[in-house]
Amino acid sequence: MCGRFFIVCTVLLGLLSACGEPPSSKTPPRPVAVVEVSGSGQSSARWLAAEVAPRDSTLLSFRIDGKIARRFVALGDEVSKGDLLAELDPQSMRLADESAQAQLKAARTSLGSAEAQLKRDRVQARSQLIAQAQLEQSESLYAQALAAYTQAQKQAEQATDTVHYGQLRADQDGVVAAEHAQTGQNVAAGQAVYSLAWSEGVDVVAHVPQAWVNELAVGDSFSFVVPSVTSEPISATLREVAPQADAPGRTFLAKFSLHNTPDSLRLGMSGQLGWQFSTQESGQIWIPATALYHQQAKTAVWRYNDQRQGFDLVPVTVAEYTASQVSVSTGLQAGDIVASKGVHTLSEHDEYSVTLPSAEDAS
């Protein structure tokens, strides 16, 4: 009886121990968001801050020193070629001109007297009524009077020009874009008084980073957007690019000609200048910026290894950054599958399950 009880208890204990056996400790592969690397080019847009500027402009200044007596135009005024813009205090110039004219009149009188005397002496010399030395003296006095008259004439012309130089006139049709001097101010010759923006046309100027400058070519089409003026983009054409970068920002100044410019577009307005570019031209591969894994100074991505259902950390070289993507020049090739999210939680020793997004998910 005791033996049967022992056997039954043994069987029951075996069944109970079998029912209470813990499940397998192996965890299922963790799903990871991935993206397939594509080597085909894609089209994207670049945008730059740009400003409306005159196609041509001139700094207007007086050619002589003086004190500004009057100004006839102000900022924003439209002027025509030859219009009087400002003038210097004319008092000293008028006195100089009157003095030069008086000297010219005296020199003309002296020249007339010397010429008349020379004519008389020549007649008398032919009749041998005067000595040859007296004739030579008359000729010398005439030459001196002629030289004095010529000098006085040049000085009078210069004094007259100085009066005209005291008046500042527009050299082109345009708009007064800036004022650099005020009424009553003493200015030196060549010191800017006004900036004149010519009326022949307006440009858009932008400073292009050196990473983008090789994408631009003279004659290419661009779009200029000024939301405060119009909702429609204004077409523009690249006219010129500076051959050398400016020192402060290492950017290249580019000028664009506008077409069908709205009347409400004014100088100095700012907007966005955009153009399309293709990544296929550079032969680079683009991946999401969230796929980058930074480890100290190195940059890498997690590339999926289908054989062991895990990820390998692969160093890459980043050629360019955009707002949401990076361009990789080395380390990846078309067809590779890389983790696109949560890259800092992955490990080379774990297993993962991946599912490529469908076309509907991508859209």
Quote the tokens at residue 350: 């774990």
**What is the H or E stretch that residue 43 is in?**
strand 43-54
Most distant pair of Cα atoms in the chain: their distance: 190
Backbone phi, psi, residue 294, to 5°: -100, 125
- How confident is the prediction along the chain (363 residues), in pLDDT tens digits per residue? 444 444 334 444 454 444 444 554 556 677 888 888 866 555 566 788 899 988 888 999 998 898 999 999 999 899 999 999 999 988 877 877 788 889 889 989 999 998 998 898 888 888 888 888 888 898 899 999 999 989 988 988 887 877 788 889 998 898 998 999 999 999 999 999 999 988 877 889 999 988 888 888 899 999 898 888 888 888 999 999 999 988 777 899 999 998 888 888 888 888 888 887 655 444 567 788 889 998 777 899 999 998 888 999 999 988 777 667 788 888 888 888 999 888 888 888 888 887 766 544 444
CB 101 within 8 A of CB 232: no
What one-character-per-residue DSSP string does 285-323 give? EEEEGGG-EEETTEEEEEEEETTTTEEEEEE-EEEEE-S
- Return the pLDDT at 43: 53
CA distance 18 to 35: 45
Percent helix, strand and coil across the chain, each rounded to 5?
30, 35, 35
How is domain 63-88+168-196 classified at the architecture level of CATH? Beta Barrel (2.40)
Residue 83's nearest CA partner among 159, 191, 174 is 174
Q: Are strands 174-179 and 78-79 parallel, antiparallel or unpaired?
A: antiparallel
From CA 314, how far away is CA 300, in angstroms rounded?
A: 5
What does the pLDDT read at residue 15?
Answer: 44
- Contact yes or no for 96/156 (Cβ under 8 A): no
Helix H segments across 127-257? 132-165
Q: What per-residue confidence (pLDDT) applies to 10?
A: 43
Tokens of 152: 């006085």
Q: Where are the domains of the chain?
A: 30-42+283-362, 46-55+200-279, 63-88+168-196, 91-165
Quote the CA–CA distance of 280 and 52 in Å, as a whole number: 32
φ, ψ of residue 27 to 5 degrees: the values are -85, 145
| pLDDT attached to residue 27 | 60
- Take residue 285 and report the two structure tokens written for it: 């591969």
Q: Return the CATH fold of 30-42+283-362.
A: 2.40.420
User: Any idea what the Cα angle at residue 218 is, between residues 215 and 220, rounded to 5°?
Assistant: 70
Q: For the domain 46-55+200-279, what is the CATH code?
A: 2.40.30.170
Place of tokens 């813009």: 85
Handedness of CA 207, 208, 210, 213 (dihedral sign): negative
Give the separation between CA 358 and CA 324, rounded to whole angstroms: 20
Q: What is the pLDDT of residue 6?
A: 40
Cβ contact 176:73 at 8 Å: yes
d(CA 236, CA 255): 10
What whole-number distance in Å separates Cα of residue 356 and Cα of residue 28? 19
Burial string for 267-278 (b: 16+ CB within 10 Å, else e) reads eebebebbbebe
Tokens 């500042």, residue located: 168
pLDDT at 26: 55
CATH class of 91-165: mainly alpha
